Amino acid sequence: MYLATTSAQRMGLACLLSCAWLAADVALAGIITNAHGFQIVRRLTGPAGSSSINPTSQVGIGGTDLGHMVNHNGKTYFLFGDTFSNDASEGMNGADWRNNVMAYST
């Protein structure tokens, strides 16, 4: 039996369980090969003040890595690893670095 004693451990365990729950209801995606002819339509994330249809400064997200999207019960869930505040230049040494973040569409 695993006992999460710190808030970081509890957050990690919650994210792991959430991912397992969501993944249990998702079919595997196929592999895309030979993709070409794409055009950037809009920027979804980026530094504070950048032109974006989805400003993330209100939730303190300037950058993130290892993202994964899952559709479940009519919502799209977004799961990320290292997530940084609007000033991502500070990296893991910044005051607003988080290790696991989950969001969903409404």
pLDDT(104) > 50? yes
Q: Which whole-number Å values give the CA distances from 10 to 4, 18, 54, in the listed order?
A: 5, 12, 29
Domain boundaries in the chain?
46-106
Indicate the pLDDT class of residue 3, thresholds 50, 70 and 90. Answer: low
Q: What is the pLDDT of residues 40-84, one digit of tens each?
A: 676 665 555 556 666 666 777 777 777 888 999 899 988 888 877
Cα–Cα dist 22/40, whole Å? 29
29 or 99, which is more confident = 99
Percent of the chain clearing pLDDT 70 (strictly above): 45
Strands 68-72 and 75-80: antiparallel
Position 4 scores a pLDDT of 47
